[in-house]
Amino acid sequence: MSSEVIDTPTKILRATLELLEAPGAKLPTMSDIARATGISRQAVYLHFPSRTDLLVAATRYQDRQNQVDAALAPSRGARSGAERLDAFVTAWGNYIPKIYGVARAIMAVTDTDAEAAAAWNTRMQDMREGCAAAIQALAEDGSLPPDTDIEQATDLLWTLLSVRNWENLTQTCGWSQECYIATIRGLAMATIARDLGALTDVLACTDPPA
């Protein structure tokens, strides 16, 4: 067990993540977070000037913990464009569950809080770069349908891979993670890389019904 001394900002971030990741979590208030951390509400403000700052810091902390770069690395080593697309979809799709708790919280305040919206957009923009790279690789292979707009293909892949779609399929519809991955992979491979064989994976998943 690690008995290292943890500084207060880190303690706050950990407590925040724990609250956000709790099953069926409500959006925690600053009081909730302070209580969970074991300090006073004001002490939280000593380290994070606002709720939004704290949420943003929590996402960054989480990315560091999860080493998102490492998770997405395999896709960068792919030989062909199709392979790269495949690897990227799988890697990101499997990364989503790890960030979903925090993502939910950020997305929830996005409509009322411009700063949070900006933070979330930045994060999604990072992911979009992965999409763009995969599309670029396909383009260099000539695996993209003729006259394809690179931007448009990126938009589509980015949308298919959105956290909202993952949420809809796995949380609302009760799909298993495997089923989600197989379907989205098939969709992306078939419609973007025009690998029609990939269609066999779509809707061919046997899930134990929720």
60 touches a second copy (CB under 8 A): no
6 touches a second copy (CB under 8 A): no
**57, 71, 108, 117: which one binds a second copy (CB under 8 A):** 108
118 touches DNA (CB under 7 A): no
Number of CB atoms found within 10 A of residue 112's CB? 8
What DSSP letter does each residue of 9-78 carry, written as one string? HHHHHHHHHHHHHSTTPPPPPHHHHHHHHTS-HHHHHHH-SSHHHHHHHHHHHHHHHHTHHHHHHHHHT-
In 3D space, the residue among 96, 3, 7, 100 whose CA is nearest the CA of residue 46 turns out to be 7
Alpha-carbon distance of 205 to 178, in angstroms, equals 8
In 3D space, the residue among 165, 150, 148 whose CA is nearest the CA of residue 89 turns out to be 165
**51, 84, 123, 185: which one binds DNA (CB under 7 A):** 51
Mark the segment that binds a second copy (CB under 8 A) among 29-37, 42-50, 82-90, 101-109.
Answer: 101-109
Mark the segment that binds a second copy (CB under 8 A) among 36-44, 56-64, 68-76, 187-195.
Answer: 187-195
Name, in order, each residue with C-beta under 8 angstroms of 110's C-beta and a sequence gap of 6 or more: 116, 117, 120
Give 107 or 190: the residue with its C-beta nearer to DNA: 107
Mark the segment that binds a second copy (CB under 8 A) among 53-61, 77-85, 88-96, 197-205.
Answer: 197-205
**12, 183, 185, 193: which one binds a second copy (CB under 8 A):** 183
Site for DNA in 136-175 (CB under 7 A): none
Instruction: List contacts with DNA (CB under 7 A).
Output: 8, 29-31, 38-43, 45-47, 49-52
